[in-house]
Amino acid sequence: MENILQTADALFQNRYIISIKKAFTITLPVIILGSIASLVNNIPINIVQAGLATPAGQVIRAVNSALWLGSTAVMAILIAWTLGYYLGNAYKLNGTLSALTSVSAYLGICVTTPDGGISLSRLGSSGLFGAILIAILATELYHVFSFLKINTSEDTAEEVQQMFAALFPVMLSVFCIALTNGMILLASGKGIDEWIYTALSFLFSTADGGGLAGTLFLVFGIHIFWFFGIHGGNVMDSIMASAFGENLIHNTGLYALNHNAFDRQLAIISKGFLDTFVFMGGAGTSLCIIIAVFMIAKSRYMRSIAKMGGIFALFNMNEIVLFGFPVILNPLLLIPFLLTPLTVTLISWSAMSLGLVARVVTEVHWAMPPLISGYLATGGHLSGSILQLINITAGILIYLPFIRLMDKRAVQKESLKDNNTALLKHTLNTVAEKVHNSTGEINGEITDSSIILESIVRDLNVLSAQMQQQMQLLHTCDEYMRTIDTSIGSTDTSIKIVLQNMEKTNTLSMTGAQNMQQTMQEMEETFSSTQKTNEQASRLHLRCEQIEGILKRIEDISMQTALSLNASIEAAHAGVHGKEFSVVAANIKDLSEATAKAVSDIQGLLQGMKADTSDMIERSEVSLRQAETGRQQMIGTNQLFGEIVQNINNIQAQCHTVLKHSNEVIGELQQINEQIRATSHFFVEMVSHMSKVAEQVHDRSDESKEMMQKLRKLNVETSILTVSALENLEK
């Protein structure tokens, strides 16, 4: 038996089975959440349903519906993700990218709705088997194409490196599955997902109509799925609805007419029949496992799992039991896990066929506890509850020998663990005793060491006194250093003042030089203006001479005019010839024109003289202002140079102060040199003394080495005992 179990254990170490088991185990909290939410919304108790009909109850119902939609309704997506993740890790691939590949591939082959969306039914339990197959196929393709990776530099971020490494493997994996699905869809009109569902339906088609053989085969298939970690009820839910989904409706309608639950026209097999009389406590009639554990099991672990899972098993939720013991992939419980539901199915069908038990005529929610559900499902007949009790008893009898064997192995493991714990305690006690015995030896060594330490302490006290003297000398040196700092600070201040005055002197000198340069420029402008004035005066003199000539001409003209007038008058009196008078008149006319021209020339000369005179006046005023400005600047320059002289005097005085402080610093430095000589002499003596102490410590180091050898020996013995304790702990 043990050999068979060991062989089965080795067989179930397949990476696919382990990954599927991990996938369903890790999604268990979400599955339980969805189951509880569905249970609350559909619990067949009138008071509860009435409460859910109230406004507050409607909120609770909406919340539960949302919880179901985010868990059980998308179970295929959750399994595709987790299975791809764990299977990818098994291949040493990036689990997250493997999970993304699996989900993307499965969504690519899902059945679509007329408007192009994905059918929600394929994301739940009905698509679970397809999600498992596609996740395995997608991960395998990802593993095959994993060598087609793009290498990047080491400086690139890790996420970017992973993205480039998985770029081609992920794309090719999803593309291959999508291409295959498209070709199958084009050739047959059905995609991969529909063909998987069709194959399962055909495989269990013998259950159609509620026949006993087909039902037993369907029950066997559900539990085979469950044993390998696949939620068989969810996988087969759509198939069960197709096989005998109408039977319960037929029974309900017929019972409403004659109220006879024993009528042979009623169908025996229905989904309600399985939920009520076979799946008591969940798949494998798990309630029998709980009761059998409480009856004979002594293992602390098994009883703790039974306590935790028992409450949920009462409401036909057995995930804790299946994954806790575990039942999943446990070869020890394979036979009873398959045999019990087949047996109770056969018992229930036989009892109803013989008319001993009323048939199922009312739909009862799958989460209704046993005994109550049997009574309600059969229309209020106790025969239903009695049949459930008989089935539970039969299941317990089937499970008992296997639970006993499993409990025996568990107790042996726990006993071995207890023995190892006791051995560990004994080893640790031995170590403690050895350490305690070694402590006495160490105490003696410590006593000898304490004597040596006392001698060292005395030497250290002497050194401490000498160090105190050294500290006093250092303190004196510190005071001298402070004095030097003060002197240097005063010197720095004086030097800063000197530098400031030098900067001020430099600024004043530059200002004086600029003023002198500006004065020279103004002087040059004044000289130039004076030269122009002289030139204009010369031109004015020349024009005046021209005016004098013109005036002489006017005088001549005036004289000639007077003579002509006299001649004209004489001719008029004498009555001489008119010809002569006309000659005279012509001469007078010419003289008049010449006079007019002379007058015009005089006016032009006078205007030029007036303009030159005005220019001369303006230039004279400018020259006066510039001369005054130059005079003021010269006065300011004189004052600046006076300040420069004063600053130079101040600099000289400050230099004397600096020299005085320098002399003080020199005196202080001489005193410091004397203190340094004394300190150096002290350090020479201290080094000599420390050399003697070092020799004493060196002499005593041999004793310390012997002590360390003994301690090492004790440490080796302690290490051997510790290693022994760790080996026992690992076993």
Give the CA distances from residue 143 to residues 77, 95, 121, 698, in Å, rounded to whole numbers and listed in that order: 21, 11, 30, 68
Topology classification of domain 426-730: Substrate Binding Domain Of Dnak; Chain:A; Domain 2 (1.20.1270)
**Proportion of the chain above pLDDT 70, given as a percent:** 60
- Higher local confidence (pLDDT), 281 or 122: 281
Residue 460 confidence (pLDDT): 54
543-590, pLDDT tens digit by residue? Answer: 767 776 776 777 677 677 666 656 666 555 555 555 555 666 666 667
Please provide the distance, in angstroms rounded to a whole number, between the alpha carbons at the two ends of the chain. Answer: 24
Burial state string for 188-227 with b = 16 or more CB within 10 A and e = fewer than 16: eeebbbbbbbeebeeebeebeebbeebbbbbbbbbbebbb
Please tell me the distance from the alpha carbon of residue 576 to that of residue 584, in angstroms, as a whole number: 13
Instruction: Determine the length of the chain.
Output: 731
Task: Give Rg (Cα) of the chain.
Answer: 62
The full DSSP string for 165-209 is: HHHHHHHHHHHHHHHHHHHHHHHHS--HHHHHHHHHHHHTGGGTT
Provide the CA 125 distance to its chain's centre, in angstroms: 36
Lowest mean pLDDT among 279-293, 443-457, 553-567, 611-625: 443-457
Residue 214 confidence (pLDDT): 79
Residue 41 confidence (pLDDT): 80
Tell me: pLDDT of 302 over 90. no
- Please state the pTM of the whole predicted model: 0.49
Residue 366 confidence (pLDDT): 77
Tell me: pLDDT of 338 over 90. yes
409-425, pLDDT tens digit by residue? Answer: 888 887 877 665 666 56
Residue 358 confidence (pLDDT): 92
pLDDT confidence band for 103 (50 / 70 / 90): very high
Q: Which of 274-278, 323-327, 494-498, 676-680 has the highest mean pLDDT?
A: 274-278
Helix H, strand E, coil C: the string for 683-731 is: HHHHHHHHHHHHHHHHHHHHHHHHHHHHHHHHHHHHHHHHHHHHHHHHC
624-679, pLDDT tens digit by residue? Answer: 677 677 667 767 766 776 777 677 677 767 767 766 766 676 666 667 666 666 66
Residue 44 confidence (pLDDT): 60
Please tell me the distance from the alpha carbon of residue 129 to that of residue 451, in angstroms, as a whole number: 82
Residue 388 confidence (pLDDT): 94
Q: Which of 73-77, 99-103, 365-369, 414-418 has the highest mean pLDDT?
A: 99-103
Residue 399 confidence (pLDDT): 94
User: Would you list the domain boundaries of the chain?
Assistant: 1-203, 426-730
Residue 128 confidence (pLDDT): 76
Three-state SS at 231: coil
| Identity of the amino acid at 694 | A
